[in-house]
Amino acid sequence: MTSGDNGISRDVDRLRITMTSAHADSKHASSAIADDAQPRRSMNRKASSPMMPAFMVSAPGKVIVFGEHAVVYGKVAIAAAISLRSYLLVTSLSKSKRTLTLRFPDVGMSHTWNIDELPWELFSRPGKKKFYYDLVTALDPDLLAAIQPHLANISLSKSEHERKVHQSSALSFLYLFLSLGSQKFPGSVYTLRSTIPIGAGLGSSASIAVCMATALLLQIRTLSGPHPDQPPEEARLQIERINRWAFVAEMCIHGNPSGVDNTVAAQGKAVIFQRAELNKPPSVKPLWHFPELPLLLVNTRQPKSTQNEVAKVARLRRTRPDVVNDILSAMNSVARSAIAIIEAQRDEDTSDSDDSDADNTSAKATTNGSSTKSTVYGNGDGHSRIKNGGEREEQEEEEEEPNELSALGELMTINHGLLCALGVSHPRLERVRELVDHEGIGWTKLTGAGGGGCSITLIKKGIPKERILQLEQQLEAEGYQQFVTTLGGDGVGVLWPAVLRNGMDEDEEGGMEIDVEKFLNAMGNEGVERLVGVEGGGGEREGWKFWR
């Protein structure tokens, strides 16, 4: 991430030492992507192997849960991963094919470069050459200029706007490819599909950046894992390595990104974000114990301008400074209250685990922090398991107390009201809230800058699917786009090799190989999720692995 970021890069020196050591013997290192022997043998191939197996990488989008607009004025914000994801399929070509292809069919992009014609000489010069363990905090103008001629022929038949989007994507990809790779890099095809709406403030570009960075780092064999028995500290070291290079790709697209989107896409769960001083990098602190929550995401399809909404709040603050500052302070209190709830749940889970270990009832104990998934549902009936220093309350009494889910939902409602007071809502957003409140389904707030864009609804426990379906039908009839998703899930994941057990077209080993043709022919978001989705079939799909 950026230099001086005390949330993401506080252990830079230790990280450099570890990564340098890894680099010294990386030619013989195993990436150990999977547990079974066959994937491990694949990952143990020497660098001279003619071809790698096809593999996939996936990373989530994000939403701002608390603190939008207040974060501009030095207050705390919370951003969390959503289960809408990008998927990148990497296919190696035979040794004789010296081409590099980037395909993004969802936006109509496809382009091929000759690897040997790329500006390797400049990228390899002393002082210009970067290694995977380097911390890159700024783009090199000379390297950017060297890439420009290789963008000129991209999407010539497209509109000017489409060409700019395609060229920006290609620039970020080539900058990573040339920085991390070498002229001996094998020919490859990178095929990208995304279920994240583009331009909706949901972190689609960061999700793609994380996929690209992870794929290239895997191809040069500089990542360890993911595997279930990987220590959390080691897993987070790999996440930071990915995150640094994803941030470089984000700089290519956005110029001066905050780093929040790529951090959430890389690690998953949630982050606490705060920029206390404008002239200093932001603080980005992981919330590893953020619970997985059921979420309805609604895209109003109302065009909006983040710049205009931020300017609107600034004008109001100039004319009513005392009032607006109080609103911003209240939003800060809301975000910090949410953090306190999440951390209390973490402590409760830890207490439960300790008690369970002491009683030798380890079946439900937390045994490894790297695989723990917190939940706000407590003992399964929607109530907290421990209250008042560990004393268990009677269920009848618990029903009168708000559980963690409803507590977070109430804070979301308050946060939305404060955003409305700042004047950044929109009739389309308020209509969503009206429909949700009418059905009694959950707690709704706008997410992002407002003025349009998206809303998020935290779904109450025990709501019948029929009521949610009825709401979805009403939203669709009024021109909204909606997604039933999950908040606070996993970050970047790997499928190595690209073989899934889908119960169809199975080969002799019991799996279906995902090739470019199958991937391209998947129809829409549902088709992509059905074919390769991390949560295909309603649960975590066998084969996908994550750094946790």
Confidence of residue 151 (pLDDT cuts 50, 70, 90): very high
- The per-residue DSSP string of 341-375 comes to HHHHHHHHHHHHHHHHHHTT-GGGS---GGG----
**Residue of 116, 138, 149, 193 lying closest to 529 (CA atoms):** 193
Contact yes or no for 452/73 (Cβ under 8 A): no
Q: Which two tokens stand for residue 108?
A: 């109509």
Average pLDDT of the chain to the nearest whole number? 83
Hey, how many other C-beta atoms are within 10 angstroms of the C-beta on 26?
A: 16
pLDDT at 4 exceeding the cut of 70: no
pLDDT, tens only, 255-287: 888 889 999 999 999 999 998 877 777 888 999
Q: Which residues pair with 190 in a beta bridge?
A: 90, 102
pLDDT, tens only, 328-372: 999 999 999 999 999 988 766 665 555 555 454 444 333 333 333
What residues contact 113, with CB distance under 8 A and at least 6 apart?
99, 100, 101, 150, 174
Q: Which two tokens stand for residue 351?
A: 């207490």
pLDDT, tens only, 521-537: 999 999 999 999 998 65
Instruction: Identify the structural domains of the chain with CATH numbers, from first to last.
Output: 55-292+491-546 (3.30.230.10)
Average pLDDT estimate for 195-202: 89
pLDDT at 188 exceeding the cut of 90: yes
In angstroms and rounded to an integer, the radius of gyration of the C-alpha atoms of the chain is 24
Stretch (H or E) spanning 122: helix 120-123
pLDDT, tens only, 373-418: 433 333 333 333 333 334 434 444 444 445 889 999 999 999 999 9
- CA-to-CA distance for 542 and 13, rounded, in angstroms? 36
pLDDT at 45 exceeding the cut of 70: no
Q: State in Å, rounded, how far the first CA of the chain is from the last one.
A: 20
**Three-state secondary-structure class, residue 499:** strand
- CA-to-CA distance for 494 and 33, rounded, in angstroms? 7
Q: What pLDDT does 265 receive?
A: 97
pTM comes to: 0.80
Strands (E), 171-256: 188-194
**Residue of 531, 529, 509, 505 lying closest to 518 (CA atoms):** 531
- The per-residue DSSP string of 300-347 comes to ------HHHHHHHHHHHHHHSHHHHHHHHHHHHHHHHHHHHHHHHHHH
Which is catalytic among the residues 5, 13, 116, 261?
261
Confidence of residue 200 (pLDDT cuts 50, 70, 90): confident
Phi, psi of 535 (to 5 degrees): -115, 35
Residue 507 a catalytic site member: no
Q: Which residues pair with 89 in a beta bridge?
A: 56, 191
